[in-house]
Chains A and B, each alone.
Chain A
Amino acid sequence: MARAVTTQRKAINTALAWAIGLLIFFPILWTILTSFKTEATAIADPPVFFFFDWTLENYGVVMERSNYGKFLWNSIAIAGGSTLLGVIIAVPAAWSMAFVPGRRTKDILLWMLSTKMLPAVGVLYPIYLLFIKLGILDSKIGLIIVLMLINLPIIVWMLYTYFREIPGEILEAARMDGAGLKEEIIHVLTPMALPGIASTVLLNLILAWNEAFWTLNLTAAEAAPLTAFIASYSSPEGLFFAKLSAASTMAIAPILILGWFSQKQLVRGLTFGAVK
């Protein structure tokens, strides 16, 4: 009889979970709803929820004012590029830490994480100067490198935890069959770790997409991603709630949709080695 779930209990769980879920989601829902209102409706007293004249006007205004396509492409290129580059550099490092651990492996991992603690605002000036010297100010490649470096510790750590769960016997078997290091990584390890790599990639896409300090301060017109796009819609003159909502929705929609489609992957894979 143990763990037999009554329908009643299941119904209570469902109701409670949905109520909390909707509560947590509400700010996003409200933003999306507001983006389809007129400015006057957006601040109506009392607030209106679904029964208003839906309009696409705000999206029209935003599209006319900003080159959304360019911002979107920059965001995709920067988030994607930095994640890809990060994974390429992190896979070998995580492999060696997982399968040839030394006395200092743990220390190195923690040290890597600690590099994330340097406050970005404090080093903006030196980094800006460096970027000028290197000629990569306002370039996608510059941001790809910076965001890769920022997220590299997280990528290494996540991959390390996945690799560590792969039993060593399988690798030995592969080695017996005469597989070299390269083959071992590509044909044996990577397929096994693919779910882990996938959730690593996902998490880092999210982090890179949402990074708002460097992406705003190291770009102008050429490489500016959606974080800069949103900075032109916060508090202009006059009523702006509806337009801000439309711009916000456009800024978060791509990553939100990606996240939704891959939530299973995230739920399964996001362990950071927390599960033995």
Chain B
Amino acid sequence: MATQHSRSAARLMMAPAVVLLLGWMLVPLTMTLYFSFKKYLPLRGGDLGWVGFENYVRFVTSSAFWPSIQTTLVLVGGVLIITTVLGILLALLLDQPMWGQGPVRILVIAPFFVMPTVSALVWKNFFMDANYGLFSYLWEFFGAEPIQWLSQASMPSLVLIVSWQWLPFATLILLTAIQSLDSEQLEAAEMDGAPALKRFWFIILPHLSRAISVVILIQTIFLLGIFAEIFVTTGGAFGTKTLTYLIYQRVLESQNIGLGSAGGVYAIILANIVAIFLMRIVGKNLDN
């Protein structure tokens, strides 16, 4: 029923958003590409000429590169698994009848409102600090040797902090999805004597697949860019250097814009690989 008229109107209406985002993509991308082929050291006078693919080679051959890819994948993967699994369980629980459902929901979603810097500071100082952290007291209370969280268990600590921040988001989306589930279908299954686990596996989980896809897609986009949490807690030490953090070090700490830009290009490539991968796995669920 779409007429030619409404089609061109539609294009016109889409134009501002598309043009703006195209600009927001192209300008930085062009500049990143441009700098990535340059020897560009601001503290040594800036532009020192073209160097071809030298920055790309140097970035990828540095001993920090592959570990950073691994760290990135562990962080993203770990947080995705934890938030999705716990999110489903939590959403199932919150969907049950109970007293004070509203207040409980508020408690559960609260971490989502906390800015990353603050949540990293809170976890680092009040919980994971070796001397004054609550975890130390807790461990000592039970007679255990306190763990040096941010040095000896750095990745689990980081995954814990980031999961805490994103669990509410996953729970919210999954909860909305569960609430839309046709309760008659469930009741019928219950009448038929299907055990709870079976009902979950054959009715609830398939119903949630779309919501799970959304959770994974949106979170991956944000998790690939995690920065403040690492900056505040470990500063990239103890194997917590993600690709994003490595680029930060090259650009801002080493003041090597060319090398950092080459790293940026790799990050875009990695993001696209992950995106294609995601589309393959979860993209199907997003189609109608």
Interface of A toward B, CB cutoff 8 Å = 2-3, 5, 10, 13-14, 16-18, 20-22, 24-25, 27-28, 30-31, 34, 43, 45-47, 89-90, 92-93, 95-97, 99-100, 102, 106, 108, 110, 112-127, 130, 149, 152-154, 156, 168, 172, 181, 206, 209-210, 212-213, 226-227, 230-231, 234, 241, 244-245, 248, 251-252, 255-256, 259-260, 263-264, 266-276
Contact with A along B169-202 (1 / 0, CB 8 A): 1001101110010010001001100000000000
Contact of A22 with B99 in the complex, beta carbons under 8 Å:
no
What residues of chain B lie closer than 8 Å to A119, measured between beta carbons?
224-225, 243-244, 247, 264, 267-268, 271
Contact of B110 with A126 in the complex, beta carbons under 8 Å:
no
What residues of chain A lie closer than 8 Å to B126, measured between beta carbons?
27, 30-31, 34, 241, 245
A90 to B15, CA, bound (A): 10
What residues of chain A lie closer than 8 Å to B93, measured between beta carbons?
13, 16-17, 20
Known A118-B28, A275-B211: A47·B109 in contact at CB below 8 Å: no
Known A100-B6, A124-B251, A275-B211: A149·B113 in contact at CB below 8 Å: no
Interface of B toward A, CB cutoff 8 Å = 1-2, 6-7, 9-11, 13-14, 16-18, 20-21, 24-25, 27-29, 31-32, 35, 42, 90, 93-94, 96-119, 121-123, 125-127, 132, 134, 137, 141, 164, 167-169, 172-173, 175-177, 180, 183, 187, 190-191, 210-211, 213-215, 217-218, 221-222, 224-225, 227-228, 232, 243-244, 247-248, 251-252, 257, 260-261, 263-264, 267-268, 271-272, 275, 279, 286-288
Contact of A123 with B32 in the complex, beta carbons under 8 Å:
yes
A124 to B18, CA, bound (A): 23
Contact of B94 with A121 in the complex, beta carbons under 8 Å:
no
Contact of A95 with B13 in the complex, beta carbons under 8 Å:
yes
Known A122-B261, A267-B172: A89·B20 in contact at CB below 8 Å: yes
What residues of chain A lie closer than 8 Å to B244, measured between beta carbons?
119, 121
A23 to B244, CA, bound (A): 31
B98 to chain A, nearest CB (A): 4
A3 to B108, CA, bound (A): 25
- Name the one of B108, B257, B288 contacting A24, with C-beta atoms under 8 angstroms: B108
Known A18-B100, A117-B272, A210-B115: A92·B224 in contact at CB below 8 Å: no
Chain B binding surface SS class: helix
Known A13-B98, A124-B251: A241·B125 in contact at CB below 8 Å: yes
What residues of chain A lie closer than 8 Å to B100, measured between beta carbons?
14, 18
Contact of A126 with B109 in the complex, beta carbons under 8 Å:
no
Chain A binding surface SS class: helix
What residues of chain A lie closer than 8 Å to B116, measured between beta carbons?
210, 212
